[in-house]
Amino acid sequence: PDGLQITSTPAASPISCMVKESVFLGDSYRLRVQHASGTQLTLKLPVAFGVMPSIGASVYVQVAPESVIPLAQ
């Protein structure tokens, strides 16, 4: 999803995940990560991101505040 970022260090409110799959797509990588709860996310990262984390590595998923849309009840 747009607005999600991967980092190797925790930030203000990180979501810790483990890399389950990494697929090179030419101009980007598709990463599948899993939270301890079992929830999985698939993210697309540009090659310019740098060195991709290896399978089994711990990473942190951050949500860009401008990408959050509050829902009314």
Q: What is the mean pLDDT of residues 1-20?
A: 81
In b/e form, how buried is each residue of 4-20, taking b as 16+ CB within 10 angstroms?
bebeeeeeeeebebbbe
The structure's pTM equals 0.80
Which residue(s) pair with 71 in the sheet? none
β-strands 58-63, 4-7 pairing: antiparallel
pLDDT tens column, 32-67: 999 999 999 999 988 888 788 899 999 998 888 888
Cα angle 45-49-54, degrees, rounded to a multiple of 5: 75
- Percent of the chain whose pLDDT exceeds 70: 96
Joined together, the tokens standing for residue 67 give 């990408």
